[in-house]
Each structure stands twice: as structure tokens, then as C-alpha cells.
Amino acid sequence: MGRVDGKVAFITGAARGQGRSHALRLAQEGADIIAVDIAESIPGMDKFYPGATEEDLAETVRQVEALDRRIVATKADVRDYDALKSALDAGVAELGHVDIVSANAGIFAFGEQSQLVTDAEWEMVNDINAKGVWHTAKAVIPHLIEQGTGGSIILTSSTAGLKGTPNVVAYTASKHAVVGIMRTLALELAPHRIRVNTVHPTGVATDMILNEATFRLFMPDVEHPTKEQAAPIFETTNALPIPWVEPIDISNAVLFLASDEARYVTGTELKVDAGYTIK
């Protein structure tokens, strides 16, 4: 018997990285999946790291189906409420219900002192990371309330949702906003037995941080910094002696919060941060 047997999980940003990992971990434990991802390059982001692709999203589908679970995957941007809601509604129509929500889609733009950040970059980051989370909640809450069987909403914040990060102002603001959304939703939805929590990863070994642009944030003088050069510097940011965590570590926290093992956990900021925030 899986730990989330028979449940359906809605996951944004599911084409790769943490989102795909959440889809697989929940599917391994018996859940069916409704997945969305923008699955295309985002203008303004290419200088940081490449966008997810339709092939990535298809690979998530393949891997979930290989576990004998059902998945409804749609190409949709969390900034586009109507598209997001249509994707969710279609998934619920096909799979019957929705019980778990992982608002995971996010982007990481960085590198400029706050006074140099452009309005365009601020809006792009906050539209995806904060407004996209709100859109996700807004689309799913009516389903959860109508079903009357409770639910678990898990919002992906960050260590940058708990403390400041120099030269990362838009992202840090957006991830703090996610905590505010969580706290408000936890209060509003508790009478319906809908739980709302955040997860706060330190660096996770995905394309979002394992790229030259991110490495250069730590080594501005190195022209082509490598993962091997970056690891010991990343390690100095964590208390535990590791450079970064793996997607599965975040997925295990998401699984706990998604399952009935956490049926009375709401309003929690669940750090999976190797002690980043205590340094």
C-alpha cells in the first residue's frame, strides 16, 4: 500500500528537476498525476539557464506511466490563469478528483545588485514565482472545497523565503511572498481540512543551479567555472557537509506533507536546507 495510494496530485513545473521528481515520488507511492509546465524557453531567462522543453514534459509522462500510474500532462504557463485552470479542470475530469497540490514552478534570476534589477526581470520572476503560486491555489481551491475531503497544498518556497540573499532581490522577494500566501491560505482553508505548507530547499542539484551562470555568482572571476570548482563553495553555505541536496530530498518532504501521515500539519515552513538558514 503506497503512502498516497488513490490520491491525485496537481504539480506545476513538472517537466524536469524537482517537479518531475515530485511526480515520480508521489506516483511510486500510488498517486495519479496532473502535470503542467511552460515547457518552452522563457524570454529573459536564457542568459541564466535553458528552459524546459516539451520533450522534458513527455519524459515525465513516460516515467510516471512506467510506474503504472495515470498522468495528464499539459503545456501551460502558471502566469496564464485561464490556461492553468483549463489544464487542471481537464485533469480532474479525467482522473476524478484532486487531493494534493505542489506549486513548484519557479525561475531563478540573479546576479545584479538590487538597484540595477530591471522592472522586466522583477515582473518576470514575481509573476512566475509568486503570482503563479497564487494562480495555482486559486484554480485548485474550489475543487478541494467542493470535494469536501480535505487536501494538502504544498508551496515551494526556498531558503531565500526565510532569509536575505545578496544580489537576488526579485527571487528573494518572490519566495518570501510564497510564505505569506501559505500563511493566509492555511488560515482560510483549515475549516475545510485543507492543509497548506511550504518547503524551503537549499540548493538542489538541478539545471536551475548546476549551470555556469549560477557558478559565476560564487566565482565572478572565473570565466568557465565547473561543477567541481563550485561544489566546495556551495558547501560553505550549508551547515551539513554537503554542497547541495538532490531532488529526491525535496520530494520526500513533499510526500510526507502530501500523505495522511501529516494530516494535522498545517502552516509549517518545512526546511530541507542542510542547515543553510542557521549560518
Partner 1 sequence: MGRVEGKVAFITGGARGQGRSHAVRLAKEGADIIVVDLADHIPNIAYPSATEEDLAETVRQVEALDRRIIATKADVRDRGALKAAIDDGVAQLGKLDIVVANAGICVVEDWENTSVDVWDQTIGTNLTGVWNTVQLTSRHLIDNGGGSIIMTSSAAGIKGLPFLSAYVAAKHGVVGLMRAYATELAEYSVRVNTIHPTGVNTPMGEMGNAFGPLLEAHPTVGGMLANLLPIQATEPLDQSNAVLFLASDESRFITSLEMTVDAGNTQY
Residues that bind partner 1 (CB under 8 A): 183, 186-187, 190-191, 193, 195, 202, 238-242, 245, 249, 252-253, 255-256, 261-268, 270-275, 277-279
Helix or strand or coil: residue 14?
Answer: coil
Q: Which is nearer to partner 1, 121 or 273 (CB)?
A: 273
List, as one string, the DSSP characters of 61-88. Answer: HHHHHHTT--EEEEE--TT-HHHHHHHH
Query: What is the smallest separation between the CB atom of 183 and partner 1, expressed in angstroms?
Result: 7
Query: What is the smallest separation between the CB atom of 238 and partner 1, expressed in angstroms?
Result: 8
Among 49, 81, 171, 276, the active-site one is: 171
| Helix, strand, coil percent values for the chain (each to nearest 5) | 50, 15, 40
Nearby residues of 142 by Cβ (< 8 Å), 6 or more positions away? none
Query: What is the smallest separation between the CB atom of 260 and partner 1, expressed in angstroms?
Result: 9
Query: What is the smallest separation between the CB atom of 40 and partner 1, expressed in angstroms?
Result: 32
Q: Which is nearer to partner 1, 43 or 241 (CB)?
A: 241
Select from 79, 77, 60 the least CA-distant residue to 17.
60
Q: Which is nearer to partner 1, 160 or 255 (CB)?
A: 255
Q: What's the start-to-end Cα distance of the chain, in Å?
A: 40
Active site residue 171: yes
- Catalytic residue positions, numbered: 171
